[in-house]
Amino acid sequence: MRLEDVHAITVVGAGIMGHGIAQTMAMAGYDVCLNDVKQEILDAGLKRVRANLDLFVTHGFITGDETADAFGRITTEVDLEAAVADADIVFEAVKEDIEVKRALFNTLDAICPERTILASNSSALLISDFASATSRLDRVLLAHWYNPPHIVPAVEVIRGSHTSDETFNLMYDLLKKAKKMPVRINKEIPGYLLNRIQIAMLRECWALWQAGIASIEDIDLAVKGSLGFRLASIGPLLTNDLGGNDTICAVADYLFPLISDAHEPPDEYRQMVKDGNYGQKTGKGFYDYTPEEWEAVIAKRDTEFLERLKALYW
């Protein structure tokens, strides 16, 4: 399939990630069918898309007319077979569970047209582990978006050992057309590129928090105002060059034996999860906010992200 042959896209799973992926592809001019197990979930997803699109208008990305066009291109469908009947591309964004994904890919393989490319948004699983549930190994790959997917530019495009060049390049071109920043990951590896980096940073943040070195607020503040501030514009390896590799290598020699090399999350963090303190989902995590306060956190995040997106990438 060539890029100009792609017209219809289906997104399976309308949760945190799926609705934003649907919005992005609709904004890029594609007909998008959003699928989930219940109509209420689809309605909630559409409501979020509507609000997101309004925010895009407020920040000058698109006009009101373009919003109406994009919104009009999204349909919802609970029946999976009907949802994928004409799909050129399927983006999968369901639960991070290998068995659930394997079963879904097996079904998708059976009911999708022959030409359909299946792309998973898994956060860390190897694509080969569930591509093998299909008979179209060359047309299966990972497209790993970052939350919020309609705003964060980078999408990791990860090929499995059998993904064809055609599929890999098509997904890259499709995401580029949708104004995303696709990144080619040539060889699959658990966690791909970005989650390995992210979890390495979190391991140290959790260790510092557990050891009481700084408060939760101050850990966030320090990273936001330094590493985060820089990283929005320049990558870590260019930062190395600008800082001087002699200096950074000396710091690494000193710190490597001292920083956390834990093989599992610290007890306090695990306890937080055991207690059901998942963060915004359940109201409490590192921060204890009311539902209104969480809404305000997300609104502020999206506003700042959109301004940054416009300034740096759009």
Ligand X SMILES: NC(=O)c1ccc[n+]([C@@H]2O[C@H](COP(=O)([O-])OP(=O)(O)OC[C@H]3O[C@@H](n4cnc5c(N)ncnc54)[C@H](O)[C@@H]3O)[C@@H](O)[C@H]2O)c1
Q: How far is the CB of 88 from ligand X (least distance, A)?
A: 19
Give the number of other Cβ atoms within 10 Å of residue 177's Cβ.
15
Task: Choose the binding region for ligand X from 35-43, 108-116, 250-258, 267-275 (rule: CB under 6 A).
Answer: 35-43
| Contact flag: residue 131 with ligand X (CB under 6 A) | no
DSSP three-state, residue 126: coil
Number of H helices, E strands in the chain: 14, 8
Out of 10, 122, 163, 167, point to the residue binding ligand X (CB under 6 A): 122
Q: Which of 24, 30, 36, 305 binds ligand X (CB under 6 A)?
A: 36
Amino acid identity at 209: W
Say which of 195, 240, 260, 277 is annotated catalytic.
195
Q: Residue 244: how many CB atoms within 10 A of its CB?
A: 10
* Residue 217, helix vs strand vs coil: helix
Distance CA 33, CA 10 (A): 5
- Would you give the DSSP letter of residue 293? H
User: Three-state DSSP class for 156?
Assistant: strand
Residue 100 to residues 66, 82, 125, 304: CA-CA distances in angstroms?
36, 20, 12, 35
Side by side, the strands of the sheet bearing 154-159 are 74-77, 31-35, 8-12, 89-92, 117-120, 140-145, 154-159, 181-185
Q: DSSP class of residue 137?
A: G
CB of 13 to ligand X, least distance (A): 3
Binding flag, residue 96, ligand X (CB under 6 A): yes
Instruction: Give 96 or 293: the residue with its C-beta nearer to ligand X.
Output: 96
Interface segment toward ligand X; rule CB under 6 A; list 55-63, 144-152, 254-262, 264-272 = 144-152
- Spatial separation of the C-alpha atoms in residues 294 and 298, rounded to whole Å: 6
Smallest distance from ligand X to CB 2, Å: 27
1, 15, 62, 272: residue in contact with ligand X (rule CB under 6 A) = 15
With CB under 6 A as the contact rule, the residue among 10, 11, 18, 151 that binds ligand X is: 18
Q: Which is nearer to ligand X, 104 or 117 (CB)?
A: 104
Q: How many residues bind ligand X (CB under 6 A)?
A: 23
Q: Is 19 considered catalytic here?
A: no
Span from 7-15, 216-224, 252-260, 291-299 in contact with ligand X (CB under 6 A)? 7-15
240 a catalytic residue: no
Q: Which residues bind to ligand X, rule: CB under 6 A?
A: 12-18, 35-37, 41, 93-96, 100, 104, 121-123, 145-147
Catalytic residues: 123, 144, 156, 195
